[in-house]
Structure 1
Amino acid sequence: MKPDSATPSRETRGRVVMLVDNGVKGDSRVQKAARSAAEAGWDVVLFGVSPTVKMQKWKLGDAEVRLIPKPAHLEPRRHDLRRPLLRRPLAYRSQQVARYRVQAAKAWRSDLAFRQAAIRASEAGHPGNSAGGSKARLLVPRVSAKVFSKWVALRARETRLLHKQRNPLTAPLDRTVTALWSKLLGERSWRRLMPNLWDFELAFAKHIDDLQPDLIHAHDFKMLGVGARAAVRARAKGRPVKLVWDAHEFVPGLPEYHGRWLPGHVAWEKEHAVFADAVITVSPSLAEMLKEGHGLRELPAVVLNAPVMKPGADEVEGAAPLGDLRELCGIGDATPLLAYVGGISPVRGVETIIEGLPSLPDVHVALVSVTPGKMKAVASTQKLANDLGVADRVHFLPFVPHWQVPEFLSDADAAVSPLHHLTNHELALSNKFFEYSQARLPLIVSDIRTMADMVKSTGQGEVFRARDTEDFVRATKAVLADPVRYENAYEKPGLLEGWTWEAQAEIIDGIYSELLPDRPRRSPAEPDGSGAEDVKNTKGSDAASV
């Protein structure tokens, strides 16, 4: 057995390799899945993408995280590697070449200016005449450098225009080529449309193979292909590896980054979906679409993005005490307070909340949205609040660990999810929906399909038309006028108990156990007294940074 596939130090039910195409730390679903699988007795190694050229390792409970460096050698597009003779014959082959030429021209002219200055300095009696030469000697180089600079500037401008034209890959020629490859190769067309998907395969393949997993859990569409290929390699060698595909999003509904991104990824997913032994996803509506779109034999199991209610001992030990939400906002118990958790971007609809505040004169809003490196979105929201004269009622707070969110928000009067209409928004029940629910807050949600239908069926809140500020104000006033009416929805037996990660983890473990029937589930363990406790008991009494 290879060194990397050594027998784990603790007795386990089998080895599970999880795959995700990010750095893990910002992906709560993946973290929860790895932790809970390890707690259920599986030997879990979670592979993600390293942000550096070195592998990084740490532990999530009993699960091990390994971030693998992923060179992007296939990232450049083929047309960037050859001369654009037909579109813009004067352009350079790539922007990198253009930048090099422009800089070289500047360097030449700078050097000639230095030499000319050296001549003048020498004539004034300063040392260094040899560096300058003579004025006559510099005449031809100066004229040549000027002509060369203009020529380079022309070609660089043509290159920029070419890049602007090429980058979206939506020009008639690009669309024709994309359609041609899609028609000719079908599910295999990603090899021409998105060849950089190979970079994931080439980075991860050896690491997966060395571990010789019993089961591969591939999170989302990019890692589906990597996991499928690893499973096929193992099966060809006589090892019946099982593959679980965890579909987080509906790929055809994702935004198009360029004209080949979407058809390339759709083809990649289509080719590899057939190798999955089981499929899980995030909502019933997405499960139906996946079954129909990929001709799956069975409806995918639904594993909701529900919050952890019993965090691990290591999480509790390392977490700072929670501050009081109202104290952090500088308001008392009588002040109406709305809560929003999540990133700030145009499609998330936060501006609808801010625009509604002038019509809600006593209402404050806590935006638990601040993360390092994301201050541009916060700044634009602050500007909007200033322009509307409501900045004193908009409170920007840092993110808290995912398992602390329900308790942190529990002092608010209501929570808002103002998402705009996008395909994947329509299909999802987001993390924040369940976090808000576990905080037992009345909800004010936009009319994106799945979430709106759930709120209407449970009675836990009001629905407003997305991007409609006036209707948002109406819904908010209704909720704040009679919050108990909506809070009573949470008294339905079994509702909140089913909306926990602990309940979802049982579904995942059941799938693993069904795929590997010789690895039976363990009997429920007695509490170990390690410090992990129900999240509702973890709130600190001291105000602190969150």
Structure 2
Amino acid sequence: MSQEFAGEEPSGNSLGRVVMLVGNFIDGDSRVQKQARSAAAAGWQTFLVGRSPSGQREEYPLGQATVIRAAEVMTATRYRSSHPRRGLSGVIAYRSREVSKVKHRRQRMRQENSAIERMRLGRQLESGSINPVVAAALRSDFAVRAVATRGLGYWVAARKQAFDRNVARSKADPNSGLRLLLARIGGDSPAWDAQPRLVDFEDSFGPLIDELEPDIIHANDADTLGVAARALIRARAKGRDVKLIYDAHEFFPGEIRHGDASWHVVMAGEERRYLPLVDGVCAAADRIAAAMADCYHLSTVPTVVNNMPERSTLVGTVDATSGVRGDLKLDPDVPLIVHAGMVAPVRGLDTIVRALADPALSHAHFAMLVGSRQGYVADLVRLAESLGCGERLHLLDYVPVQELTAYLATATVGVEPFLHTPHQELTVTTKFWSYLNARLPIVVSDVKAMSAIVAEMGNGEVFAAGDAQSAAEALRKVFDDRKRYTHAYEATGSDATQFTWETQVERMLALYQAVNHVKP
């Protein structure tokens, strides 16, 4: 055990040491934060390991757990960004940004030196210090070299332009068709070429896991699964009985990541390769668990741990002028639609923006909680402006997760307008549970998992995914009789704490106990 953690040895009543891995910066991931706090409160010595935005190692407490954001240099990712996909233009394109910059700079120097030579020759001829025969020879030599320099300049420019085109294409989609095909076929190198972060995570997380000497490694999502599996093998080679739990937040065989067609292919491949080494599996939704069991022929359906809000965030009576409504300075009777999740094309938010332009919703406002105003968010703003409803689309910053439920409670309705993808048919988003605990009516597209809950509870309306008119009709129904939908929360007779994290985390802790006592 490293001396750095010598003062943090497990106490006499510690259940063991858990290292949780996640491939993000931790701050915005409510699921892993709650996992770490809960495991530590239950008696596990818990370390939550993620990426560092500064690139330097950072440590801080999270409840009784310890967060370690590992130092990382992202060497593999940076190498790929400076060596973009080549395609047909790769025949002449420079192979890397560094080579392109050096070659271009040298050509500019060469052309400027040619101008210097012209000036020198001109001065020699003006001075009359050389005879006519030598002068003619010098002129001829300079003319030949000038033509060669100019021709080389065209060649360098062509290669640089081809490289720049490759960079632009790689930004839109970093993997070529050949690379994607090789990733589908399988194998380590194609996967690591297509997703270089897998190599970077090994550099960043692998030594840290070895240093912490866990009893359980809890890998969140497939991009940390290979790192965890290799750490498990190293530990067992040293005689240590380490267990591995895999936590599937998504159904990767059905996932789509905008701008990176290789993502779901490689992540599904990681699951196929490393799941046989795993001692326990949990998943973020019932349908994801069932789909994984069927897809990978698992002998046991993964334990379901939904990412629900904590009981401490539940709200009772709220001031109608506070929260999201208060920040927008909207009167209590103004219909306010809210969306608090990730913004991406596949999330279908353009459907709500188009619905906002429907004459029947001309009095409604739409607030999105976002982490950035750039990219697709900016596209949605431009869309709203082009439809004449730009002044009713509002962008707000994320709020701390412990404040989110109360913040949302003053809205009129929460929306989840997912488009149809295999993964989105199965998932129930974190923000869906936040809407539910805020006692908001919920309007969802007809993706299977969330629409089934709404249909069963009667707490909202379902519309056809991608259909703005259908969405507008669903929203209008809620605006016309909101109490009908909020009454559903009381009419079901369900306990207010039924849809909270505390009901879910007991399953995770039970899984820890089960795998920690299983003999290999």
Q: How many residues align?
A: 491
Check 1:88–1:207 CA distance in 2 against 1; reply closer, same or farther (3 A cut).
closer
Q: Distance in 2 between matches of 1:282 and 1:155?
A: 48
Amino acid at match of 1:68: A
Residues 203-352 of structure 1 mapped to structure 2, 5 A cutoff: 203-255=204-256, 261-310=263-312, 324-352=323-351
Check 1:360–1:165 CA distance in 2 against 1; reply closer, same or farther (3 A cut).
closer
- Is the 2:411–2:440 contact (alpha carbons within 8 Å) kept by the matching residues of 1? yes
- Is the 1:4–1:211 contact (alpha carbons within 8 Å) kept by the matching residues of 2? no
Q: Distance in 1 between matches of 2:297 and 2:266?
A: 19
Q: Which is worse superposed, 193-202 or 286-295?
A: 193-202
2:239 is paired with a residue whose SS is: coil
Q: Which is worse superposed, 20-29 or 91-100?
A: 91-100
- Is the 1:38–1:44 contact (alpha carbons within 8 Å) kept by the matching residues of 2? yes
- Is the 1:359–1:473 contact (alpha carbons within 8 Å) kept by the matching residues of 2? no
2:100 is paired with a residue whose SS is: helix
Q: Distance in 1 between matches of 2:413 and 2:97?
A: 51
Q: Which has the higher contact order (CA 8 A, sep 6+)?
A: 1
> Which of residues 142, 149, 154 is equivalent to 2:158?
154
- Is the 1:83–1:92 contact (alpha carbons within 8 Å) kept by the matching residues of 2? no
- Is the 1:5–1:212 contact (alpha carbons within 8 Å) kept by the matching residues of 2? no
Check 1:350–1:190 CA distance in 2 against 1; reply closer, same or farther (3 A cut).
closer
Residues 79-228 of structure 1 mapped to structure 2, 5 A cutoff: 89-113=91-115, 142-159=146-163, 169-171=175-177, 177=182, 182=186, 190=191, 197-228=198-229
Aligned twin of 1:503: 503
Q: Distance in 2 between matches of 1:428 and 1:340?
A: 16
1:52 is displaced (CA, Å) by: 3.6
Q: Distance in 1 between matches of 2:122 and 2:65?
A: 71
Q: Which is worse superposed, 157-166 or 470-479?
A: 157-166
1:35 is paired with a residue whose SS is: helix
Aligned twin of 1:438: 437
Aligned twin of 1:384: 383
Percent identical: 33
Aligned twin of 1:531: none
1:472 is displaced (CA, Å) by: 0.8
Amino acid at match of 1:476: L
1:59 is paired with a residue whose SS is: strand
- Tell me if 1:41 matches 2:43: yes
- Is the 2:322–2:410 contact (alpha carbons within 8 Å) kept by the matching residues of 1? no
- TM (norm. structure 1) is 0.80
1:305 is paired with a residue whose SS is: coil
1:377 is displaced (CA, Å) by: 3.4
- Is the 2:179–2:190 contact (alpha carbons within 8 Å) kept by the matching residues of 1? no
2:8 is paired with a residue whose SS is: coil
Aligned twin of 1:58: 60
Q: Distance in 1 between matches of 2:193 and 2:90?
A: 23
1:114 is displaced (CA, Å) by: 6.7
Amino acid at match of 1:156: K
Residues 128-165 of structure 1: per-residue CA shift (max 9 Å, x gap): xxxxxxx9696565443322111212333444566788
1:90 is displaced (CA, Å) by: 3.5
Check 1:56–1:27 CA distance in 2 against 1; reply closer, same or farther (3 A cut).
same
1:401 is displaced (CA, Å) by: 1.0
- Is the 1:170–1:258 contact (alpha carbons within 8 Å) kept by the matching residues of 2? no
Check 1:309–1:53 CA distance in 2 against 1; reply closer, same or farther (3 A cut).
same
Residues 524-543 of structure 1: per-residue CA shift (max 9 Å, x gap): xxxxxxxxxxxxxxxxxxxx
Q: Distance in 1 between matches of 2:383 and 2:426?
A: 30
Q: Which is worse superposed, 231-240 or 252-261?
A: 252-261
Q: Distance in 1 between matches of 2:347 and 2:94?
A: 40
Q: Distance in 1 between matches of 2:182 and 2:10?
A: 54
Q: Distance in 2 between matches of 1:398 and 1:198?
A: 33
- Is the 2:23–2:224 contact (alpha carbons within 8 Å) kept by the matching residues of 1? yes
Amino acid at match of 1:332: D
Residues 349-428 of structure 1 mapped to structure 2, 5 A cutoff: 349-357=348-356, 358-371=358-371, 373-428=372-427
Q: Distance in 1 between matches of 2:81 and 2:312?
A: 50
1:411 is paired with a residue whose SS is: coil
Unaligned runs of 5+ in 1: 124-134, 312-321, 519-546
Check 1:116–1:46 CA distance in 2 against 1; reply closer, same or farther (3 A cut).
farther
1:78 is displaced (CA, Å) by: 13
Residues 4-62 of structure 1: per-residue CA shift (max 9 Å, x gap): 44252773332110001111112111111112212222211111122343212222222
- Is the 1:336–1:362 contact (alpha carbons within 8 Å) kept by the matching residues of 2? no
Amino acid at match of 2:151: V
Aligned twin of 1:28: 30
Q: Distance in 2 between matches of 1:344 and 1:259?
A: 18
1:468 is displaced (CA, Å) by: 0.7
Residues 193-241 of structure 1: per-residue CA shift (max 9 Å, x gap): 6576233223322211111111111100011111122122222322221
Check 1:337–1:121 CA distance in 2 against 1; reply closer, same or farther (3 A cut).
farther
Root-mean-square deviation over aligned CA pairs: 3.5
Check 1:23–1:141 CA distance in 2 against 1; reply closer, same or farther (3 A cut).
farther
Check 1:91–1:481 CA distance in 2 against 1; reply closer, same or farther (3 A cut).
closer
